[in-house]
Amino acid sequence: MLIGCSFTFEEALVAAGVPVRHLEHGVTVPMYRTRVDCVPAGRFAGPLVVTMRPIPAGLVARAVEVTARYPDVHGAPVHVGDPDALGIADLDAPDWGDPVDVRPGEVPVFWACGVTPQAVALASSPPWMLTHAPGRMLVLDFPNERLRS
């Protein structure tokens, strides 16, 4: 089984006129461990990890619409707005990736992240687990649009 990455829908966001700050700055998307627990699956349990992209308030609905078309690679956001609701105390201190600024008139928007399995593995301590490194995903030989539903 392979886990999709939210990087897949970024091309569609840009094409729809939604700015993607970490791409503008040439850094890795900020990723945060949340206080939200995943639904346990057998011995595996742990926290949800999210990525954050600041979106101009007037484009949040468009960002949701665009990313919802990619349900196999994280789809629509899991949360829009107050980071504290997810247990994120400081957007300038991501657990992985690089911080990006949230400018006046922008809203922090959060998507489920493929780093969640690492957080679950750390919490569950399996004897071994193969995952990806934060910000370093599987690369396939077909266009992102093929993943759109």
pLDDT digits (tens, 9 = 90+) for 63-87: 999 999 988 777 899 999 999 999 9
The answer to whether the CB of 94 falls within 8 A of the CB of 134 is no
Alpha helices in 16-141 (DSSP H): 21-25, 60-68, 116-124
**Fold assignment, 6-15+26-134:** PSTPO5379-like fold (3.30.2040)
| Coil, helix or strand at residue 129 | coil
Neighbours of 6 (CB within 10 A): 23
- Where are the domains positioned within the chain? 6-15+26-134
27-53 pLDDT, tens digit per residue, is 999 999 999 999 999 988 999 999 999
| Contact of 24 with 93, CB cutoff 8 Å | no
Please give the model's pTM, rounded to 2 decimal places. 0.84
φ, ψ for residue 60, nearest 5 deg: -60, -45
Site of tokens 């957007």? 91
